[in-house]
Copies of this chain bind each other. A is one copy, B any other.
């Protein structure tokens, strides 16, 4: 059975496997200070056109979110997020576990609205009970969002300006960053994105790695002793080489961008196919996650042939489902899918 459930169904890009094998017996120091990590960091700095950037390799998305957020917030601060933000919904309370509240504002197909963000921050900081409330300490957005949508350049600039106005760092969750950047609808490049925020990460888990997220502080603005903080959060890998080699491979000869484009190519073909088949779209996503509405009566049969992610209840007889492509999606899977739609 083919699966469009998610973008982490397969292992790692074959070039990564090759590199892991080729370097296997090289003796390297642990904890991320080996030369592959150094090389990967240099390549990421170059790709971001951010020579001052500090880069850290962590293992997974939830871990990265809670570690970065806890490291950048003061104890009495919370993080502002769309109510659909991954940190507030599907991370089992990992942010709260570190003592911080997720302060939610409305999500619009996964995105926050700059005007609503500003209104929220104005209200929060002028509330007469301000000092008895959680202070907004950071703005969190996902690019692409959990619904596959992308912020426009203007929106990003506006959010950045608002965050700056309130002296808040802007954090971009880039678990699927590659799939955002590779979309024809994307209005920003990686270097531009790096300039538009205070910290972001380049997701590896969903874009060709076995695991790994590269956290980038683009202006050398990492919190003091962030290295030790990752250790404290259980987010430091002993064999840091596993992360270094993977990211070094991804950022050699533009592999990261190349495989991201493949996922988007497949997604656009998927979208065409879904249109062709007359499917109702749940929303219009320009990235690798596509959402359609199916009649519940069709789900069982469809699910026998195609694994999918049940996304949301639409009404008593309809369900929104997610179909995702990835770096690994073969064209044949689309052909197979065509048979069952």
Q: Which residues on A are within 8 Å of B, measured CB to CB?
A: 2-3, 5-6, 8-12, 14, 17, 20-21, 23-31, 59-64, 66-67, 70-71, 74-76, 78, 89-94, 96-102, 128-129, 131-135, 205-206, 210-211, 224-225, 227-229, 231-239, 241-242, 307, 310, 328
* B96 close to A101 (CB less than 8 A): yes
**Of B10, B59, B238, which one neighbours A237 at CB under 8 angstroms?**
B59
Question: What's the least CB distance linking A120 to chain B, in Å?
Answer: 14
- With most chain B CB atoms within 10 A of its CB, the pick from A71, A74, A205 is A74
* A90 surroundings in chain B (CB, below 8 A): 129, 132-133
Given contacts A27-B3, A225-B74, A238-B61, contact A94 B232 (CB under 8 A): yes
* B93 close to A236 (CB less than 8 A): no
**Of B8, B17, B228, which one neighbours A24 at CB under 8 angstroms?**
B17
* A96 close to B100 (CB less than 8 A): yes
Q: Give 29 A-B contacts (CB < 8 Å), ordered by A residue.
A: A2-B27, A8-B238, A9-B27, A10-B24, A14-B24, A20-B20, A20-B210, A27-B307, A59-B60, A59-B211, A60-B234, A60-B238, A61-B238, A62-B234, A67-B234, A71-B75, A76-B93, A76-B232, A92-B231, A93-B99, A93-B101, A93-B133, A96-B101, A96-B134, A101-B101, A131-B225, A132-B228, A135-B228, A206-B238
Given contacts A133-B89, A225-B131, contact A233 B9 (CB under 8 A): no
Number of copies: 4
Question: What's the least CB distance linking A339 to chain B, in Å?
Answer: 17
Given contacts A24-B17, A27-B307, contact A229 B75 (CB under 8 A): yes
**Of B25, B61, B97, which one neighbours A75 at CB under 8 angstroms?**
B97
